[in-house]
């Protein structure tokens, strides 16, 4: 079942009207929305926007502050991200690497795609801190570099430039940030027996069987995204506020019905944050459910989980081994996903699993 041959990977494919490099080993082709085709000029514009600190109330915060290339596009080792004036949110910055494949954005999936995701942090009080998108539009409509770039990419100037164009360019840039070709990929899809250590191979075996990891961190025949793009309550954060869920849920729904912004609520109220997917769906079977993150490059992005509450990969495995709690004394919340149960892993097996996850680092993000 090892595939495909390296010869195939050298090919390029035509996608969305432009020539695109074939995806790296272990990844499928990047899905490109029909209404936002990739062009080199658009990608370059997106990269510039991604790094522009002027798009914040203090002129200090760009997307790249929390999604830094040198840190696998996270802000590791921060537990939660820091926005304007040192304000902190409630969630750990997820990597942009391979976000191009995600079926929803943010830990609770509150935005459907990259085009909608990037609009939120600019105007979140604990991130970019802007009251609205006005200041961004002022800059991109007047800054000569942007004026030229928007005209070239979208054929638009002045008032015709809106946040739609801004976010499309950022999304196009983000779709180029894909990374596979990890030791695991070279071993599993590339037939290179020497690419992973014996311990990592044992860890893979546990990943597929006793560890039950693969049920959510999926591996397909020809590629591996290590996520099912679903939402699961795994007992992180929600365990600590479980007894407060009924009043919290009621109060949140009431506020939402009265017009409260979900993006602001979940990033500024730690308890509301722990309601997880419920804050988006209002569906009581999704209380505390959080999106499955990819595991690619995970060794480079500590700390872990949506709230950054677990410091090491070993802590994460121990959490799952205990059946959805980080300490023996903790009480598992009643809304826990049925997929989470004590695993009975030995210390050796836990170490093996951690070693396996260290084999998921792409060369461009590996620490020297």
Partner 1 sequence: MTHSTSRRNFLKGAGTLTAGSLLPMSLIELAFADISENFTFAYISDSHIQHIKGREFVRNWDQGLKRAVAETNLLNPKPDFVLYGGDIAQLGTKPEIDHGLELLSPLRYKVYYALGEHDYYLDLGEYWEREIGPQYYSFDHKGVHFVVLNSILTYEDWIKKWPTAEERMAVMAGLDNPKGSPFMVGEAQREWLRKDLEKVNPYRPIVVLSHSPLQKLFRNWNFWTEDAEEIRQILHRFHKVTVIYGHVHQIQYNQIGNTSFHAAMATAWPWPYPSSYAQAQNYMPKLTVPMNRADPFFERDATGWQLINIHSGNVDMHYTLYDNTNRVVAFNERSGRPLDLAYQASANQIPPQKHF
Smallest distance from partner 1 to CB 138, Å: 35
Smallest distance from partner 1 to CB 336, Å: 6
DSSP string across 268-282: H-HHHHTTBTHHHH-
Q: Is residue 261 within the footprint of partner 1 (CB under 8 A)? A: no
Smallest distance from partner 1 to CB 344, Å: 5
CA 60, CA 58: separation in Å to the nearest integer?
A: 5
Please identify which residue in 156, 256, 264, 314 interacts with partner 1, judged by CB under 8 A. 256
DSSP state of 216: T
Rank residues 103 and 230 by Cβ distance to partner 1 and give the closer one. Answer: 230
Smallest distance from partner 1 to CB 157, Å: 41
Q: CA dist 324 to 3, 244, 317, Å?
A: 35, 19, 10
Q: Is residue 60 within 8 Å of 259, Cβ to Cβ? A: no
CA 89, CA 86: separation in Å to the nearest integer?
A: 10
Q: Is residue 3 within the footprint of partner 1 (CB under 8 A)? A: no
Q: Is residue 337 within the footprint of partner 1 (CB under 8 A)? A: yes
Stretches 39-47, 106-114, 123-131, 327-335: which one binds partner 1 (CB under 8 A)?
A: 327-335
Q: Is residue 334 within the footprint of partner 1 (CB under 8 A)? A: yes
> Which structure tokens are listed for 232?
């699961």
Q: Is residue 90 within 8 Å of 267, Cβ to Cβ? A: yes
Nearest to 182 by CA among 347, 48, 1, 357: 357
CA 311, CA 342: separation in Å to the nearest integer?
A: 20
**Which residues are 20's β-sheet partners?**
13
Question: Between the CA atoms of 300, 305, 311 and 314, what dihedral angle is there, to the nearest 10 degrees?
Answer: -80
229: exposed, middle or buried (Cβ count in 10 Å: 0-12, 13-18, 19+): middle
Rank residues 204 and 365 by Cβ distance to partner 1 and give the closer one. Answer: 204
Helix (H) / strand (E) containing 34 = none
Rank residues 168 and 319 by Cβ distance to partner 1 and give the closer one. Answer: 319
Please identify which residue in 155, 338, 367, 368 interacts with partner 1, judged by CB under 8 A. 338
Positive or negative: CA dihedral 107, 109, 111, 115: positive
> Which structure tokens are listed for 295?
């595991």
Footprint of partner 1 on 264-323 (CB under 8 A): 282-285, 287, 323
Q: Is residue 332 within the footprint of partner 1 (CB under 8 A)? A: yes
**Which residues are 289's β-sheet partners?**
276
Number of H helices, E strands in the chain: 17, 4
Residues 6+ apart with CB under 8 A from 41: 149, 152, 153
CA 123, CA 90: separation in Å to the nearest integer?
A: 16
Smallest distance from partner 1 to CB 303, Å: 27
Q: Is residue 335 within the footprint of partner 1 (CB under 8 A)? A: yes
Please identify which residue in 53, 212, 264, 314 interacts with partner 1, judged by CB under 8 A. 212
**Interface map 226-255 toward partner 1 (x if CB under 8 A):** ----x--------------xx--xx--xx-
Angle between helices 144-154 and 163-174 (to 10 degrees): 80
Please identify which residue in 206, 290, 343, 359 interacts with partner 1, judged by CB under 8 A. 343
Please identify which residue in 141, 195, 341, 366 interacts with partner 1, judged by CB under 8 A. 341
List of E strands, the chain: 12-15, 18-21, 231-232, 290-291
Q: Is residue 207 within the footprint of partner 1 (CB under 8 A)? A: no
Smallest distance from partner 1 to CB 268, Å: 19
Q: Is residue 339 within the footprint of partner 1 (CB under 8 A)? A: yes
Footprint of partner 1 on 98-117 (CB under 8 A): none
Rank residues 205 and 230 by Cβ distance to partner 1 and give the closer one. Answer: 230
Smallest distance from partner 1 to CB 140, Å: 36
Stretches 10-18, 163-171, 199-207, 333-341: which one binds partner 1 (CB under 8 A)?
A: 333-341
Count of residues in contact with partner 1, rule CB under 8 A: 29
Residues at the site binding partner 1, with contacts judged by CB under 8 A: 210, 212, 215, 230, 245-246, 249-250, 253-254, 256-257, 282-285, 287, 323, 332, 334-339, 341-344
């Amino acid at each position: 079942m090892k595939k495909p041959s390296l010869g195939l990977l050298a090919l390029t494919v035509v996608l969305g009207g432009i020539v695109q490099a074939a995806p790296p080993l272990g990844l499928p082709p990047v899905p490109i929305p029909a209404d936002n085709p990739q062009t080199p000029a658009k990608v370059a514009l997106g990269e510039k926007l991604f790094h522009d600190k002027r798009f914040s109330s203090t002129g200090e915060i760009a997307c790249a502050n929390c999604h830094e290339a040198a840190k696998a596009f996270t802000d590791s080792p921060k537990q939660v991200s820091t926005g304007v004036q040192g304000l902190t949110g409630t969630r750990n910055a997820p990597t942009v690497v391979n976000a191009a494949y995600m079926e929803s954005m943010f830990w609770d999936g509150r935005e459907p795609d990259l085009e909608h995701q990037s609009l939120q942090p600019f105007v979140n009080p604990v991130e970019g801190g802007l009251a609205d998108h006005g200041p961004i539009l002022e800059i991109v409509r007047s800054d000569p570099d942007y004026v030229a770039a928007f005209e070239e990419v979208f054929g638009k100037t002045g008032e015709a430039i809106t946040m739609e164009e801004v976010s499309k360019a950022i999304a196009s840039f983000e779709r180029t940030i894909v990374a596979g070709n990890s030791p695991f990929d070279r071993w599993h899809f590339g037939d290179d027996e020497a690419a992973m250590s014996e311990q990592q191979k044992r860890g893979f075996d546990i990943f597929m069987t006793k560890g039950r990891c693969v049920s959510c961190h999926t591996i397909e025949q020809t590629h591996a995204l290590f996520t099912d793009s679903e939402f699961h309550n795994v007992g992180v954060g929600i365990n600590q506020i479980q007894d407060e869920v009924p009043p919290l849920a009621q109060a949140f729904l009431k506020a939402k019905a009265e017009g409260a912004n979900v993006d602001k609520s979940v990033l500024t109220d730690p308890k509301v944050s722990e309601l997880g997917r419920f804050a988006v769906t209002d569906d009581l079977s999704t209380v505390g459910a959080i999106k499955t993150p990819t595991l690619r490059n995970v060794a480079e992005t500590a700390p872990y989980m949506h709230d950054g509450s677990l410091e090491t990969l070993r802590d994460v495995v121990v959490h799952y081994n205990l059946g959805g709690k980080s300490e023996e004394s903790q009480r598992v919340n009643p809304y826990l996903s049925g997929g989470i149960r004590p695993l009975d892993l030995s210390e050796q097996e836990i170490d093996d699993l951690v070693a396996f996850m260290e084999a998921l680092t792409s060369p461009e993000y590996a620490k020297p």
